[in-house]
Amino acid sequence: MTHLTPKPGSKVLVAMSGGVDSSAAAAILVEQGFEVVGCFMRLGSPGETLDELQPFDTAGVSCDPAKVKIGHQGCCSVGDAHDARQVAAALGIPLYVLNFKKDFGRIIDYFVDEYAKGRTPNPCVRCNDWLKFGKLHAYAGQIGAEYIASGHYARIDRSGAEPRLLRGLDDAKDQSYVLFGASKLRLSEMMLPIGEFATKQEVRAIAEKYDLPVFDKPDSQEICFVPDNDYAGLVERRRPELRVNGKILDESGEVVGEHGGQHKFTIGQRRGVGVAKGYPIYVTGKDPKGNTITVGDGEALMSSRCVANELNLLVDEALFADWRRVLVQHRYNMAPVPARVRLVDVEDGGVSGRRGGIEVEFDSPQRAVTPGQALAMYDGDDPSWVLGGAWIVSVNQGVSCLS
């Protein structure tokens, strides 16, 4: 595979979720003359049976629409599989359905384990790393596809000696944050057609132009394996021992209330805390071993530094041997902020087993920097350029610098 500009006629495997973004991406590639093959990843949503769908094979068989139960329309549900089939038929491309239920179980296990450890996970980033731009590449190789495309709002710049991951042109929809975990090799194999559009309306217009039935389908706002948004219930079903009452502490350590389990709370949470002090109260800390949460005012949420592990750099590591000026995004729904970063040695190897990490010092204190969340870095001079990222393990603590 090559990072050079893909040539029309090249075979591209498109990850199709049944939504408008990936459907428009497939339509664009068909229009540009690529040999497009659709792929729907069957993950196994709650209440659905995988025998309604066909496993991966070379016949390009999809699900039988007569067996589809139209219900929840989140990411990768059976209803979404039906939508993907209809889009593929409209575009005249084959569609493969891959049974990833077993592999997706790893992501659910990670999600539950992180809450049990007192951290706040980001399963969408892990799914991209492990499945969409991970295991899916093995299937691409089986059918001779040179590239994998998706409906993410981000861009690949192939104008230089090496490909670069860039923010999408639509700032409101940019998803470069969730793609930082891809390797340099994966960047050379990626195609992100809709990242070049400035608005979601333009993307919907592409889908409508091709008479795709999903052109006005609402965006999914849920975690696909928690369709009712009751993540605490999912955690408790997997780890019932976590359903234990604990103490709520204030910043001085005084007991000010009781809670039903630390896994039900996230850093920065205000609603449902159950403590009234005459001013806004937030969750500012969690202790999974003692099953306590700490609450305080908004000032207690501010952090000046953090340490992150499982570092994945998309540029030369030597650039971070000493403090480097960057922009850092520490949550999905926030804008990158000025900071300086350097390489450090982090003891915890993290979920992926990759060692190495970074220490981050923000130019100004940041609100609700949370262990377990992903952290993406952008170039200080070119704010659209993704330099890499890591996973936050501690806040307001420093570690020894690598020599």
Annotated catalytic residue, options 39, 127, 306, 401 = 127
* Length of the chain (residues): 403
306 is catalytic: no
273's tokens: 């805390």
Query: Is residue 17 within 8 Å of 42, Cβ to Cβ?
Result: no
Q: Distance (Å, rounded) from C-alpha 238 to C-alpha 194?
A: 37
Long-range contacts of 52-56 (CB under 8 A, 24+ apart): 52/78, 53/78, 53/81, 53/97, 53/99, 54/97, 55/97, 55/98, 55/99, 56/96, 56/97, 56/98, 56/99, 56/139
User: How far apart (Å, rounded) are the C-alpha atoms in residues 345 and 330?
Assistant: 20
Q: Which of 63, 75, 76, 224 is catalytic?
A: 224
Residue 195, SS3 per DSSP: helix
Sequence-separated (6 or more) residues with CB below 8 Å from residue 155? 165, 166, 167, 168, 169, 192, 195, 196, 384
Q: Is-catalytic flag, 127?
A: yes
Distance of CA 55 to the CA centre of its chain: 25
Residue type, 275: V
Catalytic residues: 127, 224
